[in-house]
Structure 1
């Protein structure tokens, strides 16, 4: 029995055309690849315009203005999103926004490298009229900036309304004015029992009129702390003189033959960890990824061209006389009896020729053969008939049958 329906649908009645399937596959593959790429690089694509106090923010408390100014003046600023990139000789600017920010990796990896910590100052809310901007509502409590470097370094601090005078410089270039209001460091907390010995020394670099420290070097290494961020943030960059002094200050801190200035945003929630998926799209693994993609593409093209459109399956047992003839011929072929059919084929050709040439009905056997031999031609019918009867294999039988067919065709012209 056959497992195919009696009336199968024609091949052209497919649900989808070949072009439609190819288009669906192309869109699906492109979408899958795009998803992989976006999944690998999504952290790098975040704009950071959330109104925060970091290098990507264009809010009043952000530092995007300083980054753009450094870029415009050829100082090669770059954004750091991974703590593993702290291993650089460039000046690293770190802008933690709360006292709970974990800065341990920066302190460990940057022990002998120039690092500037800018302490937080303002409490802000998003500006509904300008996406990415922020409005400050007031000063944050002092325990937030004090807790940034604690407990290894714990300052005593104060904030007050200043007169906007010029800050006193202790050996550093630039000319800065007192922010309004101002926040300063007044010393090291003597009650902190976890104070690191290497950071007990506090060297004032910028001070206000009352002796409060605005910028200090902590310990003997190149670790700097800016108590008031308004000297370097977007609020401070609106003054041309202040902006020039900010660049000069960064150059002074970055005096170890650097390649640029690094601004960290990983501690502002905009960082990311190393992704194995990202390695697929970066050298040296990018070559392997392209090779695999090319191999898959070639395999798909080969499969499409090799097999072509699908064909409907045929029945195991066909219908009608054709099926009977085909099955009979198959049985005879498998039995190896094709050569014995030569005489019967010759007899069938004789009857067919008699009807075609109008032989008298009274003629039988030998008389009919003599009648057919009377037709002029290169071969006599009886000779061809004897050759078919004498066939001993498939090839000789085929030659004899072809000769009989050609004889009848020649006589029918």
Structure 2
């Protein structure tokens, strides 16, 4: 802030008996009148008019400070979520873009292969064989499960050798898809027995290109579905299209939060979920509660350094819903546990924490007439949120 003539500052700090965590400098020549704490309190005692004015200033500034603090916390949370969402969207979007380019190449190749096959004097029996071959290979390719890297490599080498022995071009390029279609050397021998040698390369290239196109379409579908799921999760997370106070499913909010934070989970955090069956809905401000789950889960991930175990448990306790989020990190040191919910207090390194997350969580839970507590020891830190059903 910028202060002018006749204004006071640090009255909140004196009222709260806290050290003054702010620095300032004079932009012009200035005279300051400084009161030490004892003189400040003596002045309030002797001058009721001054006391009323000081208290009014303190209340107004406290309200401004509270509003700015909450907005700052929301912006920090939004920035974190936006970065994570952008990261998560980028992966499937890049995969879709790459697969579309590869599919375009395959589709440009297929017409010429089809024309070459059409020129071949296939009998009715050969056409029936090719149709059966196509159907079986397509089904196998779609339903195939991944082999371990060594088995995959050995199978591809065997197919590539088979193709090279028959002087078929680009055997290394054809082999992976033929393996996925479960066409081993024995099966390829059956194909070679049905198709003339001068047409074998065209048939296998056509089959490989067709299967590649089908797999690319499948991967494009998976990528676009993932993008849609992320957008839906973000929309549900923020509840953009719903009224502020509503009946909500706690599990839905937690699941959406996990999707939003997936970019922090996938490098080594294992999540175990123990959800109570038939948990009733509660009346709540959904976006605010999602901020609670975000702060608690994010803190738990940081406590494990991104590589550990995370537990999320829900239960019904009397007239309340219990949500417990636990981790196997180092735990909260005993000498700071009494300050863990204080505003601007953080145990994280400089630049990694603002000290606002747990304070905001405490305020939101309190707004819902609930309670938040924790227990902590090395390898077992548990935050428990209890929210009334009604």
| TM score, norm. by length of structure 1 | 0.23
Greater relative contact order (Cα 8 A, min sep 6): structure 1 or 2? 1
| TM score, norm. by length of structure 2 | 0.24
Greater C-alpha radius of gyration: 1
Tell me which protein shows more helix as a share of its residues. Answer: 2
